[in-house]
Structure 1
Amino acid sequence: MNDTDILTDLPLIVVLCGSTEFMDEFAETNLRETAKGRIVLSVGCNMKQPHPLWADPTDAELLKERLDRLHKAKIRLADQVIVVGTRIGTSTRSEIGYARALGKPIAYLHPEVAA
């Protein structure tokens, strides 16, 4: 394989979207998609768990805004969006709308919650 092949033969990039209340499902989906040979982009912070980075409410709000922008950048990079979880909240609904506006294919692990 030469350098040109490496640059043009990239694996499919998927981004996982959903509520962090489903972190176990995020981890399992990340594992399965990685095993399929895909590049997986996922959430990097679970703000539902205590941590000094978001212990202060002002810091937490600023971080949430930054993470929302970051996740939308991940959606732009991805070839496909995979929605995890059995419930879709406001943030996930916004991400799905953003992905649709970009024409990204969206797969739901739980089709009954498709928004």
Structure 2
Amino acid sequence: MFNVPVRPKVVCLCGSLRFGREFASERTRLTLDLAIVLAPEGTEASVLDPLLVRALGELHLRRIDLADEVRIVNPGGYIGEATRREIAYANALGKPVTYFHEPAIGDS
């Protein structure tokens, strides 16, 4: 029998949405570890209004605010500009940042 913790760990996934399979894998793994998983959602629209893109980026920072840990989904070590901003934001808040694939030294 599994016992859900009174206060489950909340993990926010960050990274490029082009890694959809890896996001799904991490979401499943963390859920089976009885964590609450927060993550961005991909959209079907190929070109979004720049104001909406900015608002979605801010929304993701609010997910980081709620998280106990930030997990970077970065197959092959890839970390884009937006993810770097999210890592810096999490670091400024003192949130632990973990990686799907450890970046090269000086890369984060």
Report how many aligned residue pairs link the two structures. Answer: 100
The ranges of structure 1 where at least 4 consecutive aligned residues each deviate by more than 3 angstroms after the TM superposition are none
For residues 67-110 of structure 1, give each alpha carbon's deviation from its aligned partner in whole angstroms, at most 9, with x where no partner exists.
Answer: 11000000000000000023101100000000000000000110
> Rg bigger for which structure?
1
Structure 1, unpaired ranges of 5+: 1-7
2:102 corresponds in structure 1 to 111
Structure 2 gap ranges (5+): none
Q: Who is 1:40 aligned against?
A: 37
- Give the percent of matched residue pairs that are identical in Structure 1 and Structure 2: 41
C-alpha root-mean-square deviation of aligned residues, in Å?
Answer: 1.7
1:99 corresponds in structure 2 to: 90
1:19 equivalent to 2:16? Answer yes
Structure 1 match to 2:50: 61
* Amino acid in structure 2 at the alignment position of 1:40: V
Question: 64, 67, 76: which one pairs with 1:78?
Answer: 67
Q: TM-score, normalised by structure 1?
A: 0.80
Higher helix share: 1
TM-score by length of 2: 0.85
